[in-house]
Amino acid sequence: MTMTETPTPTPVATTAETTALAPTADAPDPTFSGGSIELQGVRKTFGRNEVLNGVSFSVAAGEVVCVIGPSGSGKSTALRCINRLEEPTGGDIRLDGESTLSMSVDTLRQRVGMVFQQFNLFPHKTVVENMTLPLRKVAGLGKDEARTRAMAGLEQVGLAGKADYRPVRLSGGQQQRVAIARALAMQPEAMLFDEATSALDPELVKGVLRLMADLARRGMTMVVVTHEMGFARSVADRVIFMDRGVIVEQGRPEAIFDDPQSPRLQAFLAEVL
């Protein structure tokens, strides 16, 4: 035993310390009750190209799974199959136990939100109009209710003051926060992120990652394709490594990053870390 390990009396937390650990009063954000996602032997071919070759994994309600892997390994395709931006050519995908393949696409996309590398905001509409549009068209809300829900969403990402701006007047980080708020406003059971920070200037990445970490903390079910290994390590419950259309390895972040088993994951980490 070294000197530093000598037992010392356990300090009694002062009131000030206890308060510092408690959630701040100005962050009464609601918690989410996420849904589970399960991929069962998902296949996708484009012509002769087998892009997903039987991908199976499950994400429990409130769990955060990060998907890493080289470019072209099928990460985006797997994500896009979950909300049927691509139709799988085999296998099944279940949301809270229910096959997504038999749902209407509108219902599915309300229940599973997706955030892209490019924010996909309409440039000719204001921020709040970008938010109310799907609430009215897809969720079928009335004008006032859509506006109230949109403003509440903007409030949550700290952008209520920009409601009437066009996206071009916002930074990339702010635009991505609007895109996240737009997805959240549908009150989804799960959120998919496809390299949500890859198009951002380096100084804007942190704010978006912080928002994503906050959603994770609040219990959102999340599947996050990312190159941000620091984020994956600190926020993910589980990390999945994909290569050439299959899951090569998955596990706790510590296992994946500190003790990779497969030569392909070892080689990938040597490239990116």
Ligand X SMILES: Nc1ncnc2c1ncn2[C@@H]1O[C@H](COP(=O)(O)OP(=O)(O)O)[C@@H](O)[C@H]1O
**Cβ 154 to ligand X, closest distance in Å?**
30
**Cβ 119 to ligand X, closest distance in Å?**
18
**Cβ 16 to ligand X, closest distance in Å?**
47
Number of residues that bind ligand X (CB under 6 A): 11
**Cβ 234 to ligand X, closest distance in Å?**
22
51 touches ligand X (CB under 6 A) = yes
d(CA 32, CA 34): 6
Strand order in the sheet with 221-225: 112-115, 190-194, 221-225, 64-68, 238-243, 246-251
Contacts of 13 (CB under 8 A, 6+ apart): none
- The residue behind tokens 């419950």 is 237
For Mg ion, the closer of residues 76 and 130 by Cβ is: 76
For Mg ion, the closer of residues 189 and 228 by Cβ is: 228
Helix H segments across the chain? 15-21, 75-82, 105-111, 127-137, 143-156, 172-184, 202-217, 229-235, 253-258, 263-272
**Cβ 66 to Mg ion, closest distance in Å?**
13
Stretch that binds ligand X, among 13-21, 23-31, 45-53, 204-212 (CB under 6 A): 45-53
For ligand X, the closer of residues 80 and 162 by Cβ is: 80
Q: Which member of 29, 30, 41, 46 binds ligand X (CB under 6 A)?
A: 46
**Cβ 26 to ligand X, closest distance in Å?**
38
14 binds, among Mg ion, ligand X, none (CB under 5 to 8 A by kind): none
- The residue behind tokens 């499950």 is 58
For ligand X, the closer of residues 50 and 155 by Cβ is: 50
Chain residues in the site for Mg ion (CB under 5 A) = 76
Contact characters 59-78, ligand X, x per CB under 6 A:
----------x-xxxxxxx-
How many Cβ atoms are within 10 Å of 145's Cβ, its own excluded? 14
Q: CA 260, 238, 77: angle at the middle one, nearest 5?
A: 95
Contacts of 166 (CB under 8 A, 6+ apart): 123, 124, 125, 126, 127
Name which of 45, 39, 75, 72 is nearest 190 in CA terms.
39
For Mg ion, the closer of residues 32 and 231 by Cβ is: 231
What residues line the site for ligand X (CB under 6 A)? 46, 49, 51, 69, 71-77
